[in-house]
Amino acid sequence: MKTTNKPNIGFWIISVIALIWNLMGVNQYIQQAYQTEEFRAMYSAEKLALINQTPAWATAAFAIAVFAGALGCIALLMRKKMANTLFIISFIAVVVQNIDAFMRLNFADFETFELVMTFIIPLFAIFLIWYSKKAIDKGWLN
């Protein structure tokens, strides 16, 4: 039987913030998939047209990225090693999703927030892979 160390308070804070982050991604995906009033109100007609032209494979990658990330955070909070695998899957899906953005969209038309998020999201995904690996190495996850 393997014993594990108790994680420090920073682990719990990071895990909860990461879960909130990923749940915001799940919310964004659901709003986009169902084209809610709130979602449509956030964008101009031109931006909505671009969003609606997103290929199915990029939309699927978006779904995989946010749901794998959220499940990874739940696994992290449950102190399960599978969190690392879920974060890796999420990161790969983020990269696949961004392939569409880099191929199809003109970044000169992006607002500052959109452009910043294009780079922060993969960085956060990489951080979660690294952090979950560190948690495994410290014996916090089993």
Distance in angstroms (rounded) separating the CA atoms of residues 104 and 39: 21
Decide if 3 is inside a domain.
no
pLDDT tens by residue, 79-98: 999 999 999 999 999 999 99
Decide if 130 is inside a domain.
yes
Decide if 25 is inside a domain.
yes
Range of the domain at 80: 9-137
- In the prediction, which pLDDT does 35 show? 86
| Band (122; pLDDT cuts 50, 70, 90) | very high
| Band (1; pLDDT cuts 50, 70, 90) | very low
Decide if 105 is inside a domain.
yes
Asked whether residue 106 carries a pLDDT value surpassing 80, the answer given is no
Q: How many residues does the chain have?
A: 142
pLDDT tens by residue, 54-77: 899 999 999 999 999 999 999 999
- Whole-angstrom CA distances from 106 to 39, 99, 125, 141 are 21, 13, 24, 42
For the chain, what is the domain count?
A: 1
Decide if 142 is inside a domain.
no
- Say if residue 132 is exposed, middle or buried (CB neighbours under 10 Å; 0-12, 13-18, 19+): buried
- In the prediction, which pLDDT does 111 show? 75
Tell me, what amino acid is at 136? I
Decide if 108 is inside a domain.
yes
Decide if 1 is inside a domain.
no
Decide if 4 is inside a domain.
no
